[in-house]
Structure 1
Amino acid sequence: MTTRYSAFIQAVANDDALPIDKQAAQLWLKDLHNPGRWILRPLLQFFFGVLLHLIWFVKRLPLPQFRAHSLLQRLICWFCKHWVTYEANILILRHFATESNILNFLNDNDVDPGEPIKLYPTKISDMLRDSFVEHDQELFRLVGGFESAQGPKKTEPLRWTNWQPIENIEFEVTRKRTQIIDFETAHVLFMCLFCLLLTRDEYRDAINGFQLDQSIAIRVGKLIDDPSVVEYAYNKYPHYLVGPWNLTHRFFMHGLFTEYLYARLALAHEAQTPKP
């Protein structure tokens, strides 16, 4: 059944001021129209938001820390396979690819490139290996090793050694009738488990990793000579550490940010690729 969009949503769908892959835009818009996002999520967000802050408080106490990364990722994969919508699952897999591409682009054009990121899961079960924890640690590894962003603008041709166009990646998600939970509601349901099954520092670092969006955009903008890409970043100011307040919204905006920045880089890559 074709989704009927309001005049505003139709305008957004046709507006290309912010670059975004057409498939990604269709997935986001359909996911946003999930009735559960508007009816169920607000109620769940209130309950699990209170629970999250209680777990956060306990984890900040001087108590022995524990982690259960494998258990956390197994639960996520099971939940995604059976309960999360097809659109949201594709968006999750795309997020690994978009952010890996962005970071690999920065790494390829660094003075002393490090080991590239290889997190490109194509199906939900791949996330047992390419986990969210690994995703965060790879982000911190590369950003922490980049050359100073305050130096002169790069003038030599851009390198795309480890760039993997998403249109060349075949994502495999099996549709199930039970898949009814949208992207944001799925995050609401799992944010407490993330806090519980990571150490306090791992969780604090993970929810503050979004703040690096601004730093990443600044570096990309300097390389492609387009400072406007900094405006894509909703999450900013990494020197100010935040807690779990408004976490789902920041997570959602981080996902949009990577889609915008990936699409802008895809345009730069296309412009630099010789035409046959």
Structure 2
Amino acid sequence: MSNKQSAYLKAIKADDSIPIEKEALLLWHKDIENGFRWILRPIAQFVFAILLHIIWFFKRLPLPQFSAHIFLQKTICWFCKHFVSIEANQLILRHFATESNILNFLAENTGHDHRVNLYPKTIAEMLDNSFVDHDQELFESFAKLGKIPTDTQVAPPYKWDSWQAINMSDFLIERKATQVIDFETAHALFMCLFCLLLKRDEYRDAINGFNLDQSIAIRIGRIINDNSLTEYAYNKYPHYLVGPWNLGQRFLMHGFFTEHMYAKLEALRKEQMTD
């Protein structure tokens, strides 16, 4: 890719209409300027999308199910350590923290005890704070929340006891010359492995969990009296189960959603602390 930025890239770098932290935007802008993204990603997404649907088809057949969570996590972490760019790894680590904070805020301010403690700071820590646990914690949180009350607006001050503000200096990643693969290409490579090494219902649940973004926005919007939050949710209608079609975009938009929600709530927290 040319070192000269296009007019569009300059425009989105200047646009701060959507609440998202500057640190996250800088990581994303650098990631999309990765030359490998424009060469390798289209090929990887095309090839692995076909392979994903083939694996999905066979996993849906009435055959004995198997999973290999530990092998899955070790493979992903090894690949991240050696081949995924620093920026993409930092975005992945941020995602654990943003979603954990959002779910904990929701639980704390609706009187529920369940807390999510997935805040890895290194690639190695993702072995324990795994992607599988990340999905299961989301489902567990909603199971504990239950039905949404008619009137859930909470009067400030809000509770932040479980909130962990993100500090980029806490993310420790050893830089290697081979770390050249961007965020979206890495996901294209991972999605087939997830489908293969999770049981069919585990994988189906994981790719449908994105649609809870709308439910999260509705619930938090009612707490802080801000109905505009649902505008940030690209993935919607969790009762309509989907397959792996368009998975890359839905996954990416889920990441943007959590960053938007985190930035909104973090600004609210800082405002409350200064009052």
Q: Corresponding residue for 2:26?
A: 26
Q: Which amino acid aligns with 1:123?
A: T
1:243 has 2:243 as partner = yes
* Cα displacement (A) at 1:269: 0.7
Aligned partner letter, 2:61: L
Task: Report what 1:142 is aligned to.
Answer: 141
Deviation at 1:186, TM superposition (A): 0.3
Deviates more, 1:156-165 or 1:52-61: 156-165
* Conservation of the 8 A alpha-carbon contact between 1:85 and 1:179: yes
Equivalent residues of 2:221, 2:229 under 8 A apart: yes
Shift of 1:245: 0.6
Count of residue pairs the alignment pairs up: 273
Aligned to 2:69: 69
Are positions 1:118 and 2:106 aligned together?
no
Taking the aligned partners of 1:49 and 1:168, their CA distance within structure 2 comes to: 32
Letter in 1 for 2:147: S
Is the CA contact (8 Å cut-off) linking 1:122 and 1:169 kept in structure 2? Answer: no
State the 1:90 CA deviation: 0.3
Native 8 Å contact 1:20 1:260 kept in 2: yes
Give distance in 1, aligned partners of 2:91 and 2:59: 30
Please tell me whether residue 188 in structure 1 is matched to residue 185 in structure 2: no
Q: Structure 2: give runs of 5+ residues left out of the alignment.
A: none
Deviation at 1:9, TM superposition (A): 1.7
For the 8 Å contact 2:109–2:154, the answer to whether it is kept is no
Q: Which amino acid aligns with 2:141?
A: L
Change (3 A) 1:267 1:83: same
1:67–1:199 Cα contact (<8 Å) kept: yes
Give TM-score, length-normalised by structure 2: 0.96
Deviation at 1:165, TM superposition (A): 0.6
Q: Which shifted more, 44-53 or 198-207?
A: 44-53
Deviation at 1:147, TM superposition (A): 4.5
CA deviation after TM superposition for structure 1 residue 249, in Å: 1.1
Instruction: Could you list the structure 1 runs, at least 4 aligned residues long, displaced by more than 6 angstroms after superposition.
Output: none
In the other structure, the counterpart of 2:273 is 273
Mapped to 1, the partners of 2:66 and 2:168 lie a distance apart of 39
> What residue in structure 2 maps to residue 37 of structure 1?
37
- Note if contact 1:224-1:268 (Cα within 8 Å) is conserved in structure 2: no
Partner of 1:257: 257
Q: CA deviation at 1:150?
A: 4.3
Distance in structure 1 (CA, Å) of the matches to 2:217 and 2:241: 19
Q: C-alpha offsets along residues 86-122 of structure 1, whole Å, 9 cap, x if unaligned?
A: 00000000000000000000011113x1231100000
Structure 1 residue 223: deviation in Å? Answer: 1.2
1:98 aligns with 2:69: no
Contact in 1 for aligned 2:114/2:144 (Cα 8 Å): no
> For residue 25 of structure 1, what is the amino acid of its counterpart?
L
Check conservation: 2:93, 2:120, Cα contact below 8 A. yes
Gap regions ≥5 residues in structure 1 = none
Task: Classify the secondary structure of the residue corresponding to 2:101.
Answer: helix
**Structure 1, 7-16 or 83-92: larger mean CA deviation:** 7-16
Paired residues of 1:153 and 1:223 also in contact (CA < 8 A): yes
Counterparts in 2 of 1:122-133, with a 5 A limit? 122-133=121-132
User: For residues 178-199 of structure 1, what are the alpha-carbon distances to aligned partners after superposition, in whole Å with 9 as ceiling and x for unaligned?
Assistant: 0010000001111111000000
In 2 relative to 1, CA 149–119 (structure 1 residues): closer, same or farther, beyond 3 Å?
same
Does the aligned pair in 1 maintain the 2:154–2:224 contact within 8 Å?
no
- Identity score, percent: 60
Structure 2 match to 1:53: 53
Aligned counterparts of 2:257 and 2:109: Cα–Cα separation in 1: 21
What does residue 162 of structure 2 align with? 162
The amino acid across from 1:50 in the alignment is: I
Structure 1 counterpart of 2:117, one-letter code? K
> In structure 2, what residue type is equivalent to 1:35?
G
Is the CA contact 1:110–1:147 (under 8 Å) kept in the aligned structure 2? no
Once the two structures are TM-superposed, the CA of residue 45 in structure 1 deviates from its matched residue by 1.2
Deviation at 1:5, TM superposition (A): 2.9
Please state whether the residue corresponding to 2:45 is helix, strand or coil.
helix
Cα offset, 1:76, TM superposition: 0.3
Shift of the alpha carbon at 1:7?
2.3
SS at match of 1:160: coil
Deviations 1:232-276, CA, capped at 9 Å, x for gaps: 11111101000001111111111111111100001111111135x
